[in-house]
């Protein structure tokens, strides 16, 4: 028997004090006694660690660990949680009243393994809605099968928009990949949804995803490990969801329209895009298999991505540097 209805897990690494306080205060204001609040300090500096210790007196359970990345911090939070349902929050975001209890109540009411909610994007206040049918319970693979934007939209990108049954996570031994620097959320979410018998999307938003902080890893011009992380994502998606021709086509198009262009640009910004490295990237399974599936008639929406696609398809390995600025 779990002690709490829901746990909220917040990984923290050197988040500026005003932003971190804003996050933690919003969670304290939104949560009730049924929520276990967990903050995991991932080897932050002394000031951040001391600030977190303040919140241990306010209702948070705080754990300090050596720096190992956001996935390791979230995984520690999962291990320490004593709740029926798991929710995640990033230290630079905020939540609305009712988080997480309203979502956890819905999960308990209809016995859900995974719940997917809308999120609010700040500072502009727009709602990022899921593309899934709302208030319809189905199994995870059926949900994915009929999604025309499964890989290219944001439905699978953010763990903070989802709730997870702790029983499912433990039974299937699902954890965040600690060898990924980006897209670890998507792999965790894909594994959870693929294993779920009961998934539902709801149209309410209780989470505020903030773009006004400027220190997110996903908004940096160079992301170390991006190429390898996207290869892991591709392998996971291929194994779990690319079971039909339609889904395989969607995955291939996403990797050639979006991922290939961004991998090349990221490696260029990192100063490591030699001719040999570019050719090595082109021959990685995620791109070789994708371009083989799409064939010569495929059209990318982005003109620069289209240029790279054509060169790659015809095995022209000379890199057009102007295409990836």
Phi and psi torsions of 11, nearest 5°:
-80, 140
Pairing between strand 83-88 and 162-165?
antiparallel
Domain ranges of the chain: 4-216, 220-324
Average pLDDT, the chain: 92
Average pLDDT over residues 21-26: 98
Query: Cβ–Cβ contacts within 10 Å for residue 49, how many?
Result: 15
- Alpha helix positions (H), the chain: 17-30, 46-56, 70-80, 101-109, 140-145, 166-171, 184-195, 226-240, 245-254, 260-269, 275-282, 285-294, 303-313
Encode pLDDT of 288-323 as tens digits. 999 999 999 999 988 889 988 998 899 887 665 554
By residue count, the chain amounts to 325
| Domain at 4-216: CATH architecture | Alpha-Beta Complex (3.90)
Encode pLDDT of 196-236 as tens digits. 999 999 999 999 999 876 555 555 678 999 999 999 999 99
Cα–Cα dist 195/63, whole Å: 29
Please state the pTM of the whole predicted model.
0.93
Report the share of the chain in percent with pLDDT over 70: 95
**pLDDT class for 44, splitting at 50, 70, 90?**
very high
Cα–Cα dist 164/6, whole Å: 9
Query: Does the pLDDT of residue 275 top 90, yes or no?
Result: no
Encode pLDDT of 118-136 as tens digits. 999 999 989 988 888 899 9
Phi and psi torsions of 302, nearest 5°:
-85, 120
Encode pLDDT of 81-106 as tens digits. 999 999 999 999 999 999 999 999 99
Average pLDDT over residues 24-43: 98
Average pLDDT over residues 144-155: 80
Cα–Cα dist 119/93, whole Å: 11
Q: Please say whether the beta carbons of 147 and 131 come within 8 A.
A: yes
């Amino acid at each position: 028997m779990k002690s709490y209805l829901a746990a909220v897990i917040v990984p923290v690494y050197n988040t500026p004090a005003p932003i971190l306080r804003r996050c933690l205060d919003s969670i304290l204001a939104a949560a009730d006694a049924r929520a276990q609040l967990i903050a995991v300090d991932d080897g932050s500096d002394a000031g951040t660690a001391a600030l977190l210790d303040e919140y241990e007196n306010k209702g948070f359970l705080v754990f300090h660990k050596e720096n190992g990345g956001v996935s390791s911090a979230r995984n520690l939070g999962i291990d320490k949680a004593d709740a029926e349902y798991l929710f995640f929050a990033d230290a630079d975001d905020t939540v609305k009243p009712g988080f997480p209890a309203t979502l956890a109540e819905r999960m308990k009411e209809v016995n859900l393994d995974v719940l997917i909610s809308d999120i609010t994007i700040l500072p502009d206040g727009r709602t990022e809605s899921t593309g899934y049918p709302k208030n319809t319970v189905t199994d995870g693979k059926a949900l994915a099968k009929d999604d025309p934007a499964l890989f290219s939209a944001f439905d699978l990108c953010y763990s903070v928009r989802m709730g997870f049954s702790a029983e499912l996570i433990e039974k299937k031994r699902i954890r965040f990949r600690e060898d990924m620097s980006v897209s670890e959320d998507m792999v965790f979410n894909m594994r959870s949804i693929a294993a779920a018998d009961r998934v539902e999307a709801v149209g309410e938003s209780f989470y505020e995803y903030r773009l006004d902080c400027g220190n997110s890893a996903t908004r940096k011009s160079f992301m170390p490990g991006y190429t390898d992380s996207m290869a892991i994502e591709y392998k996971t998606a291929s194994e779990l969801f690319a079971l039909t021709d339609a889904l395989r086509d969607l995955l291939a198009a996403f990797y050639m329209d979006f991922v290939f262009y961004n991998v090349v640009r990221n490696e260029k910004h990192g100063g490591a895009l030699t001719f040999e490295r570019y050719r090595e990237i082109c021959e990685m399974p995620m791109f070789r298999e994708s371009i083989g599936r799409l064939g010569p008639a495929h059209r990318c929406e982005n003109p620069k991505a289209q240029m790279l696609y054509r060169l790659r398809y015809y095995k022209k390995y000379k890199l057009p540097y102007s295409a990836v600025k």
